[in-house]
Every structure is written in structure tokens, then in C-alpha cells.
Structure 1
Amino acid sequence: MTTLVVCLDRTDDVGRKTGLRSPVVGWEAVRALVTDVGLADPEDSGVNTLLESLRVAQNLRDENEDVVVAVVSGDRESMVSADRAVAEQLDVLIDDHDPDSAVVVTDSAEDERLIPIVESRVRVDSVDRVVVRQARDIESTYYLLKQFLADEELRQTVLVPIGLTLLVFPLLATTVGPAEGAAAITTVIGLFLLYKGFNIDERLTRLTRQTRESLYSGQVSVVTYVVAAGLTLVGLFVGALGVSSLEHTSGVVVPAMRFVFDSIPWLAMAALTASAGRLLDEAIGEDPIRQSFFNLPFIVLAVSLVVRGFSAYFLEQQNVIDPFVVPAAELGVLQNERIIMGASERLALFVVTAIVVSLIGARIAASVSGTRGELDRPDGGSDAGLADGGPPSAPDVEREPNGGAEAAVNSDADPDPAPDRTDPELTDGGADSNAGPDPSENRER
């Protein structure tokens, strides 16, 4: 069993300080590298990382394991080029030594981002992060502060918000008061922390990239999404108008139910429009349409019916809306009177209708997906022909008992017939069986 003890250096500190090109492989080479890095920068934690790599390799050798110790460095131009350089060096090490597992040694969170690259090429049994103990005095604190100020990313993340706070607080304190200024600054800091905590910047970047790709590719969903956004605004506006038309009502339940009752049709139309655009994009594309895209419009309609039914129930209980009335109709000789449905009957009607709509949607989605699956089969759906009474497929022809295609193939490939049968019409006990079936016999059968 061969174990690769690899020391990761994403920012190429080893190459920048010693001028050596990585990877550096072998016990003696890494031990010499410790001296070179220590002479170039004795305060660098990379020296301790190299020593830790040698210590881990020595412990594994004491356990009678075949160990290869190496140092892999990235690139200083960009993080992408650094990761690609590390990936190329790992490929070279794996091709040369063929390790069964690896032990990764790092000294920072920046280097630990390379671990997935190592895991994609060889099994990682352990990750050893080196933490250097520092003396807790004024000099070490000053040194750490100096190192902190030298990091550009940390400066932009920490110092810029603190500087803006110190500038804005005196202005707010003199204009609106100290308490209001402190509240405003605290709110801004809280929003900034939430912005960073939820990775909103990355989400916005990904959304912008997806929107640009959708516009360039000419997807129908771009137009339907815009229409859905407009319908959503209309629904919110109609719901707000419904709430404003209420008389003085205590509590928030009735206004909330009124808002939902008035806005849910528009919101449902918005969701149906968006799902229809997504379904059209899937239909235009080359990949088969997933069953969920067929089922989504029916689910949206069913949920909207249930929500509107429950909101109507609460509003009718409070006498905000009138009962549901089924008008009278004349159908030839049949006549029915006007039917007035109560709150419970209306709710039951909406719930039952929603269940029926969802069942119909599931049935249609399953049938459409099954049909597309048969059309996409490589054999062209030959089993459907058998179900309809069409001609049998090739395997069925070969299974014909009285000298079909299989007998012809077997007579050419193997002159000795498989079954030992004695035809009563042959006087020699079936000696002419190799000659194949008699055409006249087939015609008689």
C-alpha cells in the first residue's frame, strides 16, 4: 500500500521564496526545501507545514507503509490558474507513483480549498492542518496586526465597513440624534452581515449570468417570466385594494384572508404562465420532458383552488362575502332551481375540485411521459405492434417451432440438431434431420 503525503501551497509561497518549481518529491528533496524556505523567511508558517509533512511520512514508514512525500504549489496569477496547476501536478504524481491513498497537510483555510481537487484523484484518508503557536505579548499582537493589514481581502471586508461607520455616525448624530444614528448604523451593519452570510452577491451573480444566457439563447421562458412578474404585481395590487375596501375590522386575520382571496387568481395565472414557458422550453429542447413539468400546472391550479376555498370560508363566516350561488338553468325538459351553498359546502366543493384536478394532472403527465418514452426507444416501440395484433418481432419469429428462422440459422452453424427427436414418418429413425425440415411437411402443417 502506497500513501502520498502531500503538502499543499495554493499561493506558491515556496516557489516565490526559493525559486524552485513544484512538485518537489522525495524525503531528501523536501528536507532540503525546509532549509531553503526557512532561510528565505524564518517567520513563514510554511516551514512548519513542511516539517509536519516529514513527520507524518516518518510515522507512516515506522508502520511499514510505502510513503511518498511531496510538495505541490499553485500559481500566483489567479485562483483558477493556481487550482489548475495543482491539478496537473497531482496527475503527474499519481501517474508516477500510483498511490492508494493520500494524507493532506495544510496551514490555512486557503490551502484547504484544494482538498476537493485531491479527493477527485485519490482517496484522502486524513487532513492535517498545522497551527503555529504564537507568543501572547504585545510584539506578537503587533505582528499579527501587520499581517492582517497586508491582506487585501481582509482589509476590504473589515476595515471598509468600520471606516464608513466612523464617518457616517457623527453626521447622523448631529442631524437626527445619537440614538437614531446608532439605530441606523446598526441596521446597515446587520443588513451587511446578512448579505455576506447568505451569499447574496454570489446568488445575484449567478442570476445575472443565467438571465444573460437565457436572453442570448432565445428561451420562451424569459417572456413568460416577465408576464408572470406583471401578473404578480397585479395580484398584489388587487389584494391591497380588497383590503382597503374593508370597513373598520379588528385583527389581522380578516384582512389577510381578504388579500389572499382577491390576489390568488392573479398569482395562480402568474404561476401558470411561468410554468407554461418552462414547459415550452423543455419541449423545444432535445432532451425528453420530465414528468414534473407536465404535472406542475395542475398542481398550481389545485393549490390555488384550495387556498381560495379556505379564504372564502373564513370571509363568509365573517359576512364579508356573499354565499356561493349556483344560478338556475333550463336544459330542455330539465329545470333546476337556484342553489345557495353555505361556507362548508363551498369549501368542500373547492377541495374536491382541487383533488380531481391534481389526479387528472398526474394521469396526463404519466400518459404523456410514457408515450414520449416509447417514441424515444431505439427499437421504435415494436412491442406496441404486438399489443395491437401487428407482425411479430424478430425474436418471436426465431421462436417458431416448425422450422422458422432459428432452424435455418442452426442448420448453418451447427449440423447436429439440439433435440433428439424421432419422426415416425422416417424409417431410419430421423437420420435425415440434418437436411432440415421437409417443405412438403411444412405445407401439410
Structure 2
Amino acid sequence: MALRITVIGTGYLGATHAAAMAELGFEVLALDIDPEKIETLRAGRVPMYEPGLEELLRRHVAGAEGSSGRLRFTLSWEEVADFGDVHFVCVNTPQKHGEYGCDMSYVDAAFAALAPHLRRPALVVGKSTVPVGSAERLARLLAERAPAGADAELAWNPEFLREGFAVQDTLHPDRIVVGVESAAAEKTLREVYATPMAEGSPLVVTDFPTAELVKTAANSFLATKISFINAMAEVCEAAGGDVARLAEAIGHDDRIGAKFLRAGIGFGGGCLPKDIRAFMARAGELGADQALTFLREIDSINMRRRGQMVGMAREALGNGGFLGKRVAVLGAAFKPDSDDVRDSPALNVAGQIHLQGGQVTVYDPKGMENARKVFPTLGYAESALEAVRGADVVLHLTEWREFRELDPAELGEVAAERIILDGRNALDGERWRAAGWTYRAMGRPRA
């Protein structure tokens, strides 16, 4: 008999995982405690922008024309427990307010709500990013509260989704990591992931602590690489070097590689910043805080980049301050192909300039609605052209393809001053200069 799968939590991770499991051929029932979110998903719509996700959802959601009908949504914990053989927990683990540590309240609440309804053998699989040691504690909770007792087993299967590539990363993962305590749990997860494994995705089987550490370790390494090149940009600015050529040169070294060596205003989003901070906090609790003290500097370099972009903008305006100046900001999402503005460097820079008296107008292809919720006092435009109209300086802060394809001459006709600051080192500087713009990028020569 084929496995039946449930997904607990239908946010970014859960909605993607549920739709992908249906695409792999499983009957899937997904649960959320938010009735409005459930109704949205039942209607074949997703509450966030992610390329390809809504199409995938509609292909399988029950009731949609031409769908497989393999994907349903519910508010009932009892229905989920009765339905599923494998329960994936995909709820959020945000940073604690005013602290570095991870807020486990949503994960704990999900396990506490599910466990009393588990009356038959089942595998509960954690996918949320949690502090190492959480799985062992949650396994005890299951054993104590599930009527099925030891037949309600736990496994840990961290997610590695990149926003903008989430569907691809779920259906064709570059690795599958499972932390298990029994051969039966491993066998079940091999069945769940049989299709991507047959296509070549490697399976790494570990214990609980190692599985929990993989995501935070990977994010910490990525953050370190990004902040390293941004630190080099600071040195290049002081020494008159070119960080883009520096990155190209060191990227040819196979031990280093060229990916994520584009200097700019740093990383943001809902994962990297909070994950490295939670990692530091957990290491401190374990008495291994000295092992991760370097992450404090990584975080510091990253946050400093935002202030440096504000300083570049102030300098471009003649160091007279922002009062009465019109500033166009191209970008609100923390990265392209996403509407996620959580801890967005672009919005942070826009907000800082606004607080210093600048008249800021923002445009983003997908992130406008979410940006308005976070910074309602900023100005917003319906196009890049309208954002730039009358601007004394233009800031390119999210590397959308749309921005790389803008016509500098056309924008120059509506800008008050042809000054553009490239906070992502992604534009063709020569093309902008040829159209009469003063073009500056972080860590690069002025001309």
C-alpha cells in the first residue's frame, strides 16, 4: 500500500513540500491553523510569490479542473493523524524577539497538537530548522504523548530550499539528508524520496544531531563566503582596487569557487541572518561558543554594508544630507524571484534614508505589497521609470533581471540627476556611463 503523506504548516516551506510530494505521486493532506490560508490554498492560490509553485499546486489540488486531486488541505489534527503514514512538520522557527536564539514555540505547539492523535504507527519528520538537540527532546515528547507509543517514531530531514528555486530544489534536490534512529525510518524515507534518488540525488543518512546541524552549518558557510567578499570590497575601496576583478581571480581557484563572490549590500531574508544568530546562541548553550565567535564578525560585516550604501548615497548627493532629496530605490525583496522582504537589505537602506529626511520611492517587480506592510511611510511606484522620475540619485539594491535590462537613456530622460549606485554589482557600468550616468558600485573604481 502506498504511503500517505501529511504536511504540518503551509507557509513557504510547507506549501512547496506538499505540492512537490503530490507531484511525486503521493496522496497528500496538508494542515494549517490559519483558516484564511487554507481557503487560499484550496482555491489553488499560494500566499507568496515563488516561480512555478502556483502552477504545481493547481496541478494537484483537489477540485481544480484537470488536477490529479492528490493534494487536500485541512484544519483538523485528527484528520491528519488518521490519514497519514508520514507527517512532515514544516512550521516556522523565527528568531526570538530581542534575542539571538531560535523561537521553538511553533514547532513545540505542532508536536504537542499532533502527538495525542497518533494512534497507529507513523513516522513524524521534522523539516524545520531547529537548534541542535531539539530532535532528541521532541522524540521523547512523541513517545510520552502519542497513544501509539514507540510506533510513533521521529526522523529529521532538513530543508535546503532557495527562494526563487524552491520547486526545483524540492523535486530535484542536490542532496537529501535524513537523521534517523532505526532502519525502518530510513526505509520509509527512502521510499518517500525514491524518485529524486533514482535521478541521482544523493542520500546522506545521519544521527539526529548531525542532521540538525547540516542546515545551520551550510548557511553559516554561505554567509561567511558572502561576507568575506564584502570585507574585501571595503579593503578595495580603501586601497583603490576592484573587487569584481579580485573575485574573478580568486574564483578560478577550485578550492574557493566563483559562486557567491559578488560584493554588494549583503544578505537578508528569513533564513541566513536568523540561522547564524541562532547557531551562535545554541553553541553558547552547549559551551562551544568560542567555536562560532567568527560568526559575530560575519553578521557585523553584513549589517555594516547597509550603512555603507547609505553613506555612498549621501556622498553622491554632495554630503549635504538627504533632506529634500529624491531617492529612487530599485528593489524591495531581499533577493530576486521572490516577494520576501524579511530582513531585506534593500528596504533597510530605503528606510534609513527616509528616516534621515530623504523622499524615497521604491519599486520592486514582486515585493511591493509586502514592502508596504513593513514600511508604509515610504513612497512606492508602479514601474522603475516612475520610481526614477525626478530622482536625484538611483540605488539598485535587488538584482532583478528587469533592472539589468533597463534602458539607461530612457531613465535618464526622467531623472533629475543621472547618478546610479549599484548595490549589487550587477549592472553594466559601461552601458550606464555611455548614457551619461555617473555609475558607482561597491568596492570598484569610480571610473
TM-score (norm 2): 0.23
Highest CA radius of gyration, 1 or 2? 1
Of structures 1 and 2, the one scoring higher in RCO (CA 8 A, sep 6+) is 2
